Amino acid sequence: MITEEQLFYVVAATTYVVTALVISAVRWFHMCRPYDRHPDYYYPGRKATTITYLTAVFLIPYIVWPDTLGGWLLVKAYFLPADLYFLSILFFSYFGTVMHWRKWRRPTILGGLLALIALLSGPVISLFGQGAVNSLVLGYSIIYGLGVLMTVLCMLSIFVVVRWTRRIDVEDYSNPQDFPVRFAHRMSILITVTMVLLWINALCDSPVTMAVLQLLLSVLSVGVLIVSLRPHRHRDPDAEQEEAAQPAPALSVSKSKALASAIRRVVEQEEAFLESHLTLQDVATRCGTSRTYVAKVFSTEFGGFFTYVNTLRLNYADKYREAHPKASIAEIASESGFGSRQTYYTVRAKLNRNIP
């Protein structure tokens, strides 16, 4: 007869499985309009997300037999090496697609095989192992050993995405890949926190802690789903395809000068340069013309988008420092349109401006 404690474990695991399956179905079948016309662009990694959450069915044996050695090793394996692998896949599949980077697929194939070994090791050991203690030691050795490897893979995914984020933040304000910087920051923090929780749960080695973790991850997963239902990329693929199909004619001198004046009005007079994530598309939209024209005028009249916008920011920063001598570097950077203090330092170095 099942005890109250075991019932709690079963309810927690069932909640996680049902939540994961619902998320998988929603992620696959639901897309907001009109974004459903370009699902690969607006919802990168959608297929990987669907498959990843479907793997929650591996926990069904634990739900049915919560008091068995095989069931316990299975749930331990799922919420350490396997879940760390799934986090890496989710991260790589989304942001790797955004950056058109496919090298992540090869190392994750090997990782997938190791995650599968971890999931199957528990039931196999319980069936063929000799002695509960020896079986438990063998199972834990496999789980923790593969957990370390998957942690390295997960940390690698975070490192790569953070590096992309910094590059976009520091070097590429025109953001041609439409990289969702803020979403990347939030997801990096969330995955780091989840990774820590998984290891705390693994080291505590308690069914109660495991149940609490499952409930917590269910809530976090629903939150992530809600946030990701609305796309975090904002370019218009249809408009870009039309623009590519009909190349813009060359700008005359008079039109080029007129557009340069419009750019100055938007960027300087309206102080758009103070927006930390200002893009070429933003300027083009406010000027009422195409991104192609704006990019060309920036190149011919202003020395490039990066140089022009960040020169204005640095000039503003110098004036702000004079007006507020007690202001910190972080405050100066923020008020001047830089995403961070590090961005401010990096831009000054790139533009050969001495730091006061």
Q: Please tell me the predicted confidence (pLDDT) of residue 249.
A: 62
Clarify whether residues 209 and 274 are in a common domain: no
Clarify whether residues 167 and 243 are in a common domain: no
Clarify whether residues 247 and 207 are in a common domain: no
Classify residue 75: in a domain, yes or no. Answer: yes
Q: Please tell me the predicted confidence (pLDDT) of residue 152.
A: 93
Clarify whether residues 271 and 145 are in a common domain: no
Q: Please tell me the predicted confidence (pLDDT) of residue 174.
A: 44
CATH number, domain of 285, equals 1.10.10.60
Classify residue 200: in a domain, yes or no. Answer: yes
Clarify whether residues 258 and 168 are in a common domain: no
Q: Please tell me the predicted confidence (pLDDT) of residue 267.
A: 93
Classify residue 174: in a domain, yes or no. Answer: yes
Classify residue 336: in a domain, yes or no. Answer: yes
In angstroms, the CA 337 to CA 272 distance is 9
Clarify whether residues 216 and 243 are in a common domain: no
Q: Please tell me the predicted confidence (pLDDT) of residue 217.
A: 96
Residues in the chain where the model's pLDDT stays below 70: 1, 129-133, 168-178, 234-250, 353-356
Clarify whether residues 271 and 223 are in a common domain: no
Domain encompassing residue 341: 237-350
pTM (predicted TM-score): 0.71
Q: Please tell me the predicted confidence (pLDDT) of residue 190.
A: 93
Q: Please tell me the predicted confidence (pLDDT) of residue 232.
A: 81
Clarify whether residues 91 and 187 are in a common domain: yes
Clarify whether residues 241 and 211 are in a common domain: no
* Cis upstream peptide for 81 (omega within 30°): no
The residue among 229, 259, 285 that closes a domain is 229
Clarify whether residues 244 and 213 are in a common domain: no
Classify residue 355: in a domain, yes or no. Answer: no
Which residues, at least 6 apart from 161, have a Cβ–Cβ distance to it below 8 Å?
Answer: 91, 95, 184, 187, 188
Q: Which amino acid is at 79?
A: F
Q: Please tell me the predicted confidence (pLDDT) of residue 172.
A: 46
Q: Please tell me the predicted confidence (pLDDT) of residue 240.
A: 54
The residue among 180, 200, 229 that closes a domain is 229
In angstroms, the CA 91 to CA 79 distance is 17
Classify residue 300: in a domain, yes or no. Answer: yes
Clarify whether residues 203 and 252 are in a common domain: no
In angstroms, the CA 151 to CA 38 distance is 33
Q: Please tell me the predicted confidence (pLDDT) of residue 228.
A: 86
Q: Please tell me the predicted confidence (pLDDT) of residue 319.
A: 92
Classify residue 356: in a domain, yes or no. Answer: no
Nearest C-alpha neighbor of 51 from the set 117, 108, 122, 120: 108
Clarify whether residues 36 and 162 are in a common domain: yes
- Domains in the chain, number: 2
The residue among 229, 252, 278 that closes a domain is 229
Q: Please tell me the predicted confidence (pLDDT) of residue 355.
A: 60
* Angstrom distances, CA of residue 92 to CA of 50, 84, 154, 193, 323: 14, 12, 9, 17, 45
Classify residue 54: in a domain, yes or no. Answer: yes
